[in-house]
Structure 1
Amino acid sequence: MRRVLIIQTAFIGDVVLASAMLESLHQAFSSVEIDILVRKGNESLFIGHPYLHKTLVWNKQKAKYKHLWQLLTQIRKNEYDAVINLQRYAATGFLTAFSGAKEKIGFNKNPLSPLFTKVIQHQMGSSSGLHEIERNQLLLYWPEAKLCMPKLYPSKSDIEFVEQYKSQKYICIAPSSVWLTKQFPSEKWVAFLKQLPSDITIYMLGGSNDAALCQEIIDRSGNSLSLNLAGKCNFLQSAALMQDAIMNYVNDSAPMHFCSSVNAPVTAIYCSTIPGFGYGPLSTNSFIVQINKELACRPCGLHGKKQCPEGHFDCGYKIEIAQLIRCLPAS
């Protein structure tokens, strides 16, 4: 092979997990040029990535399908030897099927998979026992390609930017999520901050849209050692900061995968979703926190929902703060 394209235009966390394939391909075929296609906004994950030749971007928010055609033209001009599609949706299936690549590889659940040259069964659910990076790895059917962990590469300037926050013992908290039922309730975060030891600094992380939630949690907790960094750190800076925390507390969302990408200690809180879906933490030092009893309504969906279908959100509210405290390393 001379040139390969990986397609993953889903949310941030999915793209971080896709970085494992970059590691696998580079280790197996160091001379191959690897490109990746992501949705607009996620391209910053790969600034300065040592194994990427080019990052293609699909703007889904503006002239979505016009841009899709433009991407197809660009992809065909690049003359890829292989296009590897991690997604199960028609739009990316269209790009794969008509890419002109010698090998068009994807999952059987993609509606255009009959037009691919290599189709792999997509194994989903707790019964499969597969993590997402293992599911994706099935697409790399070359025996030379071995399973690798996801990895991001904060730049020297990213590392220097967060160095100012590392002079004391600290934890990071990323309290938000795209889906409300994946989000540990704000009242519970407030209670957690109130119970933390008085010698631990707390950094609240997230995007600019999460800044108000982070500030609300800080204000309601009265914790004077808390600092709101939501919107002030980019993706790679956040990963660099989380790497040296004594613990990171996250939902089942992208910041968990940031931790995996730099092997940072992490406590992942699962509300409506379950680790059995295959998106759990991969860090060496990782903990999973979830409700201690079975709920007939849990999980209520693969991606979470905008609100609890049952109206009680017991999967979030009935998680005990002591479960989070126990994940702190002994001082």
Structure 2
Amino acid sequence: MNKIQKILVIRFSSIGDIVLTTPLLRAIKKERPEIEIHFLVKRQFYPVVEHNPNIDKIHKYRGYLNDTIESLRAEKYDFIVDLQNNIRSHRIKRKLGVRSAKVNKLNIKKWLYVNFKINKLPDIHIVDRYFETLSTLGVKNDFKGLEVYSEPNAEKIFEKLIGFEKKNYVVVATGAAHYTKQIPSKILIEILNKINKPVIFTGSSGDMPKAKKVIKKLTCSTFNACGICTIGQTSEIVKHSKVVITPDTGVMHIAAAHYRPTISMWGNTVPAFGMYPYMPQNQDLYYIAEVDNLKCRPCSKIGYKKCPKKHFNCMKNQDIDKIVDKIEHFWQLE
């Protein structure tokens, strides 16, 4: 493996999953600085890696696999690190015909857990599974955690946040890619009215109506940043927050990268899948909020547009008082 000079790392999506690759990228660049690192990512997630200094070249996947393969073939890689491990990445590896390693996604064990509630999953975070994937290269985890690199001037977003002081507001991740991961509006309203702290809502433009609906029911200061921020600007807002309230989504991992106190609320997915907040230097900075002993949970390793059982008790039955207590505890830190 000492002859490797140029590698391709494949992780197409999504925001959080890409952020979770950053400890491995940092370790490769630190321990094997002679290796040129290229990264293949879907075009819409390019901003997540755009300013990462540990990546030498980024390839945007635009949906045309044959064109992508031809472009990558010209790079003449020595090795491919497949952190996506799907049909598309398999085809790329087969066509390029170079040595490779792929992450173990534990899909059979996840399937057993989802369908039969038999939990045979190892107690290991996905970050550590990424390192296992590249164990032959000899790089080791430095346990410094995740990284997010914002674009220049991203902090200018605070010019719009009139009246919001840094380290004196709560960030709420308003939505998620799947409904069964999202925190219901009613739950958010109850939590936020009980803590009565300034709140900034983050999310996509599609999350804006939900944020507006929640804001109408609140008595605290609010700012709806849904749909108006880049990923880098969202990262800056999270970086300077006091507490983050988030479901199992990208904002959770951005918060972990900045070591911000985090309330991590889990719906249909479970931390046992290995994607919980990764803060190796201070695991006391996050709280896992989940409803235990639900026979239907986990119902999916990803999520659904609606609750298959039509009750959504994994979110609706969250212990609000305990969550509020944890927020108040985190608020007193620093």
- For the aligned pair, the TM-score class normalised by the smaller chain equals 0.7 to 0.9
1:180 alignment partner AA: Y
1:247·1:267 contact (CA, 8 Å) conserved in 2?
Answer: yes
In the alignment of these two chains, the number of paired residues is 309
Q: Tell me which residue corresponds to 1:3.
A: 6
For 1:258 and 1:325, locate their aligned partners in 2 and report how far apart those are by CA, in whole Å: 22
Structure 2 counterpart of 1:274, from 270, 293, 296: 270
Paired residue secondary structure (2:51)? coil
Q: Is the 8 A contact 2:199 2:220 kept in 1?
A: no
Q: Which residue of 2 aligns with 1:196?
A: 195
Alpha-carbon shift at residue 15 of structure 1 (Å) = 1.3
How many Å apart are 1:315 and its aligned residue? 0.8
Q: Output the CA distance in 1 between the equivalents of 2:81 and 2:108.
A: 17
> Which AA in structure 1 matches 2:72?
I
2:245 aligned residue: 249
1:238-269 deviations in Å (ceiling 9; x for gaps)? 11211221110000111101112222221100
Cα deviation per residue 1:71-126 (whole Å; 9 max; x = unaligned)?
Answer: 1011110011111111231111010122243x2222477xxxxxxxxxxx878555
CA distance in 2, matches of 1:273, 1:241: 26
1:233-312 aligned at under 5 Å gives the runs: 233-283=229-279, 284=282, 285-291=285-291, 293-312=292-311
Matches within 5 A, 1:207-222: 207-219=204-216, 221-222=217-218
Find the counterpart in structure 2 of residue 58 from structure 1. 61
Q: Are the counterparts in 1 of residues 103 and 129 from structure 2 also a CA contact under 8 Å? A: no
- Whole-Å Cα distance in 2 between the matches of residues 163 and 24 of structure 1? 35
- 1:20 maps to 2:23: yes
Q: What is residue 115 of structure 1 aligned with on the other side?
A: none
Contact kept, 8 Å, 1:21 with 1:150, in 2: the verdict is no
Structure 1 unmatched runs, 5+: 110-120
* Structure 2 contact 172–246 (Cα < 8 Å) conserved: yes
- Residue 104 of structure 1 corresponds to which residue in structure 2? 100
What CA distance in whole angstroms lies between the structure 1 residues aligned with 2:258 and 2:14? 19
Query: What TM-score, normalized to structure 2?
Result: 0.87
Query: Measured at CA, do residues 256 and 108 of structure 1 come closer, stay the same or move farther in structure 2, by a change above 3 Å?
Result: closer
Distance in 2 (alpha carbons) for counterparts of 1:48 and 1:313: 39
- For each residue in 1:188-227, what CA deviation from the matched residue of structure 2 results, as whole angstroms up to 9, or x when unmatched? 1111122123xx21000011221111111111x2334011
Distance in 2 of aligned mates of 1:205 and 1:269: 16
CA 1:51–1:107: 2 relative to 1, 3 Å: closer
Alpha-carbon separation, structure 1, partners of 2:84 and 2:109:
13
How far apart, CA to CA, are the structure 2 residues paired with 1:176 and 1:38?
Answer: 23
Identity %: 22
1:144 aligns with 2:138: yes
Aligned to 2:46: 43
Distance 1:108 1:44 in 2: 26
Bigger Cα displacement from structure 2, 245-254 vs 86-95? 86-95
For 1:272 and 1:323, locate their aligned partners in 2 and report how far apart those are by CA, in whole Å: 20
The letter of the residue matching 2:36 is E
Maintained 8 Å contact 2:5/2:34: yes
Q: Which amino acid aligns with 2:311?
A: H
Please say if residues 243 and 331 of structure 2, whose CA atoms lie closer than 8 Å, have aligned partners that are also in contact: no
